[in-house]
Amino acid sequence: MYKLYDLSHVIDPKNAPRKFRVETIGADTVNHNVVRLEGQWYIMSDITMVSHIGTHIEMPYHLFPDGADLATIDINTLCGPAVLLSLKDVPAGEPITVPRLEEAIARAGGIKPGDVVVCNLGYSDKYGTDEYSKSPYFTPEAIKLLVDSGMKLMAVDAGGVEVPRSEEHVNHIQLLEKNICLIENIAHLDDLPTDHFYLTAFPIPVAGVESFPVRVVAYVEE
Ligand SMILES: [Zn+2]
């Protein structure tokens, strides 16, 4: 049996960090064959949103015009055995270097090819505060180490993994050019009772779109 853990932040449209507008409309305004009785609560939603909001997953198409989008990505790359790396000892704003990363990997017992790598910077509870943007970041060498380990998906409990002010997006490029998608703003990692679990992160398959909010779920054997 498995116990499931929800690793996504709630998106509250009334207090969203980026555009996420929900307009409640009557079902009959969408489907004209629908009969909506006087006073009947039978609603649909008209949503306008930015695709990078809340806990979201980025596809290669974010930076590569020929890269896989939400509809064409191989879903086998969006799930798998996950290893949780604790990087909570890295101070705010500092780089996650190769030695710091190697230590965390050793503590977790290593990364196997095909693993999902989930990085816990200890920032989930800071989401929505000014402190959140001051999280540590990864050096390009550290990202290379993860890519070379054969990981197939990466997640981080921060707004991103990029080197601050890198207009070349060096870290994103290293991941996405290898078809390694990136989950940003993963949440509640401290709730997990183990550093090994199964993870799924399936966004809806929208053609021609590079990112979408995602319900990330950890399956913990018990
Ligand atoms: Zn993003």
Q: Is residue 23 part of a domain?
A: yes
CA 39 to centroid of ligand 1, rounded, Å? 41
Residues with CB under 5 A from ligand 1 (ion): 52, 184
Stronger pLDDT, 158 or 34, i.e. the higher one:
158
209 and 107 both lie in a single domain: yes
Say what the pLDDT of residue 177 is: 98
Q: Is the pLDDT of residue 166 over 90?
A: no
CA 136 to chain centre: 17
> Which residues, at least 6 apart from 37, have a Cβ–Cβ distance to it below 8 Å?
none
Mean pLDDT rounded to a whole number for the chain: 96
**Do 41 and 96 lie in a common domain?**
no
pTM for this prediction: 0.96
Indicate whether 11 belongs to any domain: no
- Distance from the alpha carbon of residue 181 to the mean position of ligand 1, in angstroms: 11
Ligand 1 center–CA 53 separation, angstroms? 7
Domain containing 128 — which CATH number? Answer: 3.50.30.50
> How many CA atoms are closer than 13 Å to the CA of 141, on its beta-carbon side?
8
Burial of 77 (0-12, 13-18, 19+ CB in 10 A): middle
The number of domains in the chain is: 2
Is the pLDDT score of 192 beyond 90? yes
89 is a domain residue: yes
Residues 134 and 157 placed together within one structural domain of the fold: yes
CA of 50 to the centre of ligand 1 (A): 10
For residue 52, the CA-to-ligand 1 centroid distance in Å is 5
Distance CA 191, CA 166 (A): 32
Boundaries of domain holding 32: 19-49
